[in-house]
Amino acid sequence: MQAKLIDGKAVSAALREQLKEEVAALAEDGITPGLAVVIVGDDPASKVYVRNKKKACEELGLHSEEYALPAETTQEELLALVDKLNKKPDIDGILVQLPLPAHLDEKAVIEAISPDKDVDAFSAVNVGKIMIGDYKFLPCTPAGIMELIKSTGIEVKGRECVVVGRSNIVGKPMAMLLLHQHGTVTICHSRTADLPSVTRRADILVVAVGRAKFVTADMVKPGAVVIDVGMNRDENGKLCGDVDFAEVAEVAGAITPVPGGVGPMTITMLMRNTITAAKK
């Protein structure tokens, strides 16, 4: 392996130390940031993420509340809970764990969260603010990726940045954050013609397609920074990313592993957003 490993756990731990200081400073003013996490149903992965969010709140000294609702919860019941949390003074941030069961309207639920408490930054208001560069919160995964890129010491300005995947949660906001830092950004997707010829241009390649080991060594420019957002299982049931780590690490200049890359940053950025929300 020639690539430098971008250690998401280490970057995340360093940021959490800074956040602890911010929480302590707020405590002196009598403020304890509060996060409400809502989970509907029994998805095992979602349960793990929610548990880790609660643990992160404990580690940093944030107040947290978990609302675990049964899979058969109705849209009205979920919206009523969001409404209650919007009005709850000790709650600064609200997060509804995704994906929701299929009968629920995810978009309507996200839009019901007050934009000031939308610590995922998924609502149309917050997405719009990100577009114009006037935002309070950044979506957690793209924000975490920007921190990981920063940790490599490589400047985004003037670089060819290629984002593979165009989801509202990762691909689109990711492209916007790279653009804000003066990257030359291309978004690729399933209908991009000759994808390898585009990804090979990238100095910074971010992959969020949800397909195990989709990006291979021949698709990567030698020395590129490769960020893997994927969370898949390989043929042996082992957790793996969207990038074929073993072969791409021979070509890239720096690369994130899965696990231990982007994932840990997502929860740390959620903590940062909740603290920002509490500062009002």
Q: Is 55 or 279 the residue whose CB approaches ligand LMY7XDAE more closely?
A: 55
Residue 119 is a binding residue for ligand LMY7XDAE (CB under 6 A): no
Contacts of 55 (CB under 8 A, 6+ apart): none
CA atoms of 115 and 166, how far apart (whole Å): 23
Residue 49 is a binding residue for ligand LMY7XDAE (CB under 6 A): yes
Q: Is 34 or 159 the residue whose CB approaches ligand LMY7XDAE more closely?
A: 34
Among 258, 271, 277, 278, binds ligand LMY7XDAE (CB under 6 A): 258
Q: How far is the CB of 112 from ligand LMY7XDAE (least distance, A)?
A: 14
Question: How far is CA 40 from each of CA 26, 44, 47, 70, 108, rounded to the nearest angstrom?
Answer: 31, 11, 10, 6, 15
Find the length of the chain. 280
Residue 98 is a binding residue for ligand LMY7XDAE (CB under 6 A): yes
Both tokens assigned to 173: 């906001």
Residue 252 is a binding residue for ligand LMY7XDAE (CB under 6 A): no
Binding residues: 165-167
Q: Kindly report the number of other CB atoms within 10 A of residue 123's CB atom.
A: 19
Considering only the stretches 64-72, 74-82, 94-102, 206-214, report the one whose residues sit in contact with ligand LMY7XDAE under the rule CB under 6 A: 94-102
Q: How far, in whole angstroms, is CA 73 from its chain's centroid?
A: 26
Q: How far is the CB of 27 from ligand LMY7XDAE (least distance, A)?
A: 26
CA torsion sign, 44 to 45 to 46 to 50?
A: positive
CA atoms of 73 and 51, how far apart (whole Å): 20
With b for 16 or more beta-carbon neighbours within 10 A and e for fewer, the 41-66 pattern comes to: bebeebeebbeebbebbeebebbbbe
H/E stretch holding 53: helix 44-60
Q: Is 106 or 247 the residue whose CB approaches ligand LMY7XDAE more closely?
A: 106
Binding residues for NADP(+): 165-167
Q: Is 152 or 184 the residue whose CB approaches ligand LMY7XDAE more closely?
A: 152
> 98, 102, 81: which is closest to 36 by C-alpha?
81
Q: Is 120 or 203 the residue whose CB approaches ligand LMY7XDAE more closely?
A: 120
Residue 231 is a binding residue for ligand LMY7XDAE (CB under 6 A): yes
Residue 230 is a binding residue for ligand LMY7XDAE (CB under 6 A): no
Closest CB to ligand LMY7XDAE: residue number:
263
Query: With CB under 6 A, what is the number of residues at the site for ligand LMY7XDAE?
Result: 18
Footprint of ligand LMY7XDAE (CB under 6 A): 48-49, 95-98, 120, 140-141, 231, 239, 258-260, 263-264, 266-267
